[in-house]
Structure 1
Amino acid sequence: MTYAGLTWDHPRGYDALAASAGDLVHWSVQPLEGFESHPLDDLCARYDLVVLDHPHLGEALAAGCLVPLDDLFTSEELHRWRARSIGSTMRSYAMEGVQWALPLDAATQVAATRTDLAGEPPAIWDEVRDLARRAPVALSLAGPHAFLTFASVAVALGEEPAAHPDELIGDGTGLAVLDLLADVDSLAPAETRTLNPIGLLELMSRTDRLAHCPLVYGYVTYADRLAFTDAPTARPGGLPGSTLGGTGLAVSSRCTPSADLLDHMRWLMSSPAQREFLPRHNGQPSARSAWTDTSIAGADFYRRTTATCEQAWVRPRYDGYIGFQTAASAVVRDALANETGHRAALEGMRTLYRASRAAEEGRT
């Protein structure tokens, strides 16, 4: 039997899965934007295996479209993979005491730099501001990334967004974040504002029109052309503010997995696959041992961003968060374009957040 799988359309998301699947899984792809926002219940109705983003778990549980992995793997296996995974990658796919996906891939927002154009990568946000005045610097603002950038800077300033169901973020932090982002974005090349992370990294690696992006999801596939370093902090020695990304491998409720399929999933989480096979096929493993392996392809990429990945913020995963993330990103973009005042933008995001949480409570 051949299973139908869906991943995202980039060598990091596709190559290793396709190379290892043989006739067991036929992998299709969707654009990065689909991975970020397409309703998961629709995808699970059409595919047996789905590569997903952890904030989709709330809607997945509400729709009942995933198989609990606790029913497919032993507690010892799940515990071992959890202990071996970097940062919160495994935990981000667990809800209500159940594991819903395996962390196939680990990523978080880090800094990317063309050192020939920018010099030494800035380590703190004040240095990012200074660099923007003498070299082309851009924020990642397209799609959901405007809010993710907002959230990461808030974390660097010492406050995690959405820590409480009724309050998105405090006045002081929220306004400080918008002010900082506006300072940097006001000097950014106009063409960068509509580019997703892949587009930004392509522009930076193939042209001289972008020298630095302080927060963009790291791709080891660009590490031969760009310097990746930890996300900026607010002050020397502070927390590198970043929002966890990466991908999880989930089994849809339409699927009855065979022993061969479960063994294949086990192999993808094994040390040989994580440290050898995935890196050889453009993958970005989730195993901590791979990130700390000095012999692995792209070892400098992992070494220079491990601290950020270990400490990255895990987004909320309630049913309705994806819609909030999309709407809040539009508010951030409006504020940076001077179409909305910063206080009004902050209140707008708070209103959207409270409405999304209230809608969730109304559905439960």
Structure 2
Amino acid sequence: MTYTAPPYRGLTWDHPRGHDALAASAGGLVHWDVQPLEGFESHPIDALCARYDLVVLDHPHLGEALATGCLRPLDDLFAPRELARWDADSIGPTMRSYAMDGRQWALPLDAATQVAATRTDLTGPPPATWDEVRALARRAPVALSLAGPHAFLTFASVAVALGEEPAAGPDELVGDDTGLAALDLMAALDAHAPPETRTLNPIGLLELMAGTDRLAHCPLVYGYVTYAGRLAFTDAPTAGPGGRRGSTLGGTGIALSARCVPSPELLTHVRWLMSPEAQGDFLPRHSGQPSSRAAWTSPETVAADFYRHTAATCEQAWVRPRHAGYIGFQTAASAVVRAALAGESGHREALARMRALYRASRTPKERHP
């Protein structure tokens, strides 16, 4: 579709999954710039919103965004029945992850969570439990996703599989038994991992697995439909048969900055991006990864096996904290996990350090001038 209204500026991330469908549907209404995945994960949201009208963001940035007042609440722009319909149509907690303080701040353009990726020609059937992952690591190259914030996200997902959601309370990160068991499991697997994998982000891990035989399995990595066919994507491991598939929700939402003055044409375009037509057909045909549950469960969706074999994990995914200090905590805690896996600290010491970092992240910044 083509629009005659002046163009808005939007920012998304530099990958076909984040860019292609938005650019192909913009019709002159939105000019989309891109930033690297690492910028998407860590760049201050208020600085981005000062320059752009539309921002594709991750839900943990909400606390920071609300603290700086840089987003426009969407319930001022869309009717309650529209928001309720999108909530009902979205897989797992994707829509709810962008709601905070009683307002809706973004819409789930894209759904993703950590799932298992496997070269089945090298491994046979993918492992379904963490014990099976351990066994596989003794005979094939297996790696965890540890670069950037992903070391903590992997830790959190293992904790969920072990039966405890991190950060269930305002001051406590995770209990001793769960935290130490998660670190012990990660250390056992990391000891066998190809060294080159420790610095690779999810795209790098999937590229290595798809293009070489140096990595056969990653039990927790954010799923990318663009690798479907080359790799087998399946639900995240459980601690045992019938257990919860521990995984940390990712994906992206589309938000309007406080500087944006949306025209009727822009709101119509955002509605279309959330429509069954866009979610079920247009986005998948343009490398997108829709948030619609119908798209994830329909046999007609492009790369339907990718969605069908990972939908249960997405439905059960853990939603990260979204307070203003969370992004910094996630970065610092990941460094602590990596140091523990490298043997630079004991696991009990690492757990204590992560707890202290979490408590500090919850402390209002005005108390520390």
Q: TM-score, normalised by structure 2?
A: 0.98
Aligned length in residues: 363
Q: Is 1:56 matched with 2:61?
A: yes
Q: Is 1:239 matched with 2:223?
A: no
Match of 2:27 among 13, 22, 34: 22
Residues in 2 aligned to 1:102 and 1:6: alpha-carbon distance in whole angstroms: 15
Residues in 2 aligned to 1:248 and 1:85: alpha-carbon distance in whole angstroms: 12
Gaps of 5+ in 2: 1-5
1:162: which partner in 2?
167
Q: Shift in Å at residue 358 of structure 1?
A: 1.6
The amino acid of 2:317's aligned partner reads A
1:358 counterpart SS class: coil
Root-mean-square deviation over aligned CA pairs:
0.8
Q: Shift in Å at residue 324 of structure 1?
A: 0.3
Q: Shift in Å at residue 362 of structure 1?
A: 4.1
2:127: which partner in 1?
122
2:302: which partner in 1?
297
Q: Shift in Å at residue 361 of structure 1?
A: 7.9
Gaps of 5+ in 1: none
Alignment of 1:21-170 (within 5 A): 21-170=26-175
Residues in 1 aligned to 2:95 and 2:235: alpha-carbon distance in whole angstroms: 21
Residues in 2 aligned to 1:264 and 1:326: alpha-carbon distance in whole angstroms: 35
On the 8 A contact 1:318/1:360 being kept in 2, the answer is no
On the 8 A contact 1:50/1:251 being kept in 2, the answer is yes
2:173 counterpart SS class: coil
Per-residue CA deviations over 1:224-270 (Å, capped at 9, x if unaligned) read 10000000000011000000000000000111010000000000000
2:329: which partner in 1?
324
Q: Shift in Å at residue 359 of structure 1?
A: 3.2
Residues in 2 aligned to 1:151 and 1:261: alpha-carbon distance in whole angstroms: 37
Identity of aligned residues (%): 79
Q: Shift in Å at residue 354 of structure 1?
A: 0.7
2:260 counterpart SS class: coil
The amino acid of 1:22's aligned partner reads G
1:249: which partner in 2?
254
1:272: which partner in 2?
277
2:291 counterpart SS class: coil
Q: Where in structure 1 do 4 or more consecutive aligned residues deviate above 2 Å?
A: 359-363
Q: Is 1:201 matched with 2:227?
A: no
Q: Is 1:211 matched with 2:216?
A: yes
Residues in 2 aligned to 1:9 and 1:159: alpha-carbon distance in whole angstroms: 34
Residues in 2 aligned to 1:161 and 1:113: alpha-carbon distance in whole angstroms: 27
1:123 counterpart SS class: coil
Q: TM-score, normalised by structure 1?
A: 0.99
Per-residue CA deviations over 1:134-176 (Å, capped at 9, x if unaligned) read 0000000000000000000000000000111111110000000
